[in-house]
Structure 1
Amino acid sequence: MNSLTIEDLKQHAIEFVTALVKNDFASAVSRFDDVLKNALPQDKLKDYWNTLNSQAGSIQQITGISTAEMQGYRIVFVTCKFGWANMDVQVVFNDSGLISGINFLPANDISSTTSTYKPPEYADQSAFREYEINVDTGEWTLPGTITMPVGDGPFPGVVLVHGSGPNDRDETLGPNKPFKDLAWGLASQGVAVLRYEKRTKAHPEKFKAVYGQNCTVKEEVIDDALSSIRILREYPNVDPDRVFLLGHSIGGSIVPRIGKHDTGLAGLIIMAGSTIPMEDSALAQVTYIYSLSGQLTEQQKADIELLKKQVEKAKDPGLSADTPSSELPLGIPAMYLMDLHRYHPAEVAKGLSLRMLILQGGRDYQVTPEVDFEGWKAALAGKENVTLKLYPELNHLFFAGEGRSTPQEYDIEGHVDAEVVHDIARWIIKG
């Protein structure tokens, strides 16, 4: 039996998926055993991967990793968010540490759909009720939930806007449901909350058929957020003059743009919102994840160099809608990047008169305090209606932890930190 540990194999599996993302199929195949090399040579692997991307959308990020053992083989499941679906890349290793099988499967959502949600201590279930609603945006209907405090109100309200990928209304990631934490925690303190299924989650095939490679954040995020704001304003017991918008991750980055569309909002809450271009963020994340294993391997160095070239392509003034997504970081469509290139979150926020609360985890490697949070601080310095707060021990999900944050950390059950929930509730109610 090879001396590689299961942690080594996890890292190898991530490197294999990263090679696919970079369209470096020669590197991917070099990790196969002889049988798999013959069965799935480089050209066939390329076709296999391109077919998956056409069906599921381009990959957004790696969100989790798990393992299993079967008949002497060790299996690593790398869970990925694609544009229109969550998928598990199943990587099977033989006893020599070579890949002897791969498969692409719909992500195992058993933990998120059948397991019992264990509420955080700050959620008082006697203090609120939940009501199922639909968010209608033209031809799109999205199921959602309004969590309403008990009483006559009128209560302040907040709409939650998800991060990247096909998120459900709870922003489920492994065993965790950060948006459910926020909804139950805020409603326990007198704030009504609307959360909804993302369009790419509720209608993945239709979304792909309608937009394909021409999708931008307007179709993916903005239109449905604006519809949700209108619904919450009109909902019984909600104060229409005190409706706020909260965005997490890319949702946080886009919140100022939504605020520019709807100037009647009472305020914006930005949780882990990036201020830098998406391609730069992708390069920083891959570099960080590779650094976790210590000194970079030659293959990792090559992966990073290829990604740097794709980042340069993304920044090329000649970038057009015809640029193949295979030439761009993480296979992101050119139209999506071009749309974001015209938008500068911190500068747009600077031009708004809305109150803003900007929150950042100190252990967040996806949206970093050193770059992104400092970007908000620099742009919004001197604005008296802006509050910024850094939580040193929290990660991208605003869960507490120690040491350097890792992708595997998201597989550990946790909750949005109580201090964060209390800070948001106090800030909303104060306004």
Structure 2
Amino acid sequence: MKRFVHAHATHPQWPMAAALVLAQLRAQLAVGAADGQAAQAEAASRLGAGAATTPLGLVYLTDDYADAAADILDHLSHALPQVTDWVGAIGVGICATGAEYIDEPGLAVMLCDLAPSRYRVFSGLVPLGATQGPEGFVPQTALVHADPATPELTELVQELAERTIGHYLFGGLVASRAGSVQIARSSRGAVVGHGREAAHGIYPGGFSGVAFGPDVGIVSRVTQGVRAVSPVYRITAAQGNRVEALDGQPALEVLLRDLGLSLDDLGAVVARLRETLVGLQVPQAQAAIAPARPGRVPLRVGDDVLVRHVIGLDPLRRAVVIADEAPLGGTWMLCERHAQAARADLVRICAEIRDELSPDAGDGLAHDPVARIAGAVYVSCNRRGGPHFGAAGAELQIVRQALGDVPLVGFFAAGEIAHHRLYGYTGVLTVFVADEGAGPDG
């Protein structure tokens, strides 16, 4: 696996955006040819005709192009015949290296240097199995796109993660003004009898994505976009979505006390709760990060904390209703969205990725760990991006400053997927590790 090739562009007319993307890809392939790479020289001269070094393409487009999704995919496939498999989604916003396209036309493409034996494309019509095909492909991880309206979504994410030997997914919930439109076209053939969209690899709902085998190295991190505004409590009584007691105290009284509110002023309570979230930690995760000492507000919200909305108060039971099942025996903290905390946490995960890719301290190597990154996928909450970070593209610029100009594509999601969990208000940054001996330019 060598450095991936990627491009992105915007234009009111999709054929022009596609032409700009293809021109960028052609230029990058030409650079590879100038470096003496004969295979890429062939690809550059014919936009990849006959080459097989990039059979997997990741493609993301904003919903401005939703009506033309099948035509765009056909156009890219015709121009890049060596790309036999396509995976992606349509969103209200997409991102690329150092850039984001939110509420505007946008197209981003990344071509992945992965042999077909190292991945499998899946969808609702061709689901992911523990092993697939006569060669016995075994999925280690998977990039997942999912419809937020799917029934029992949390359970399905967990079940899908269990089909991978790493029990690790990364991706997000796809949502746009065009619905939940996903892209999954496989060289293993379309399923006939399911309409034009399915035949073209366009799916309005369900699950889709691409699984990667054990020999595809990835490093992935979750960054939170909130900060804690209360101490951590144990959930000592709960039923379904209703939290009844925290450390043995009525949950409603704890919430009102921590926020300095009173039910005598319902207007202030409603206004404050619109800005307040709850961070939940399930019992089995508590061994990783212990709760803060009583009365202490945590300095950082860890990636094992799931952030959910407060959706109601129950004065009769002195309880609080949240937008998820309350984990009895787990922990609770109040949170709020916070730009500075989000920036600091994004810098932190980039530093962790660099550290994990760094050579061992005693091996005498001085290589830049970023040179080991073949490409990256970033899935961020649609409540983040430029509007949250203070300037257009600011979130992606933080990643770029930390990791350099690594090829990156992704989208803004209605919920983020990492490990076997559904997150909110987070970013999931996943990098592909280049094979040993593969330089940054392939």
Question: Which TM-score band applies after superposition, normalised by the shorter structure?
Answer: under 0.3
After TM superposition, the score normalised by the length of structure 2 is 0.25
Larger Rg: 2
Greater fraction strand: 2
Using CA pairs below 8 Å that are at least 6 residues apart, which structure has the higher relative contact order?
A: 2
After TM superposition, the score normalised by the length of structure 1 is 0.26
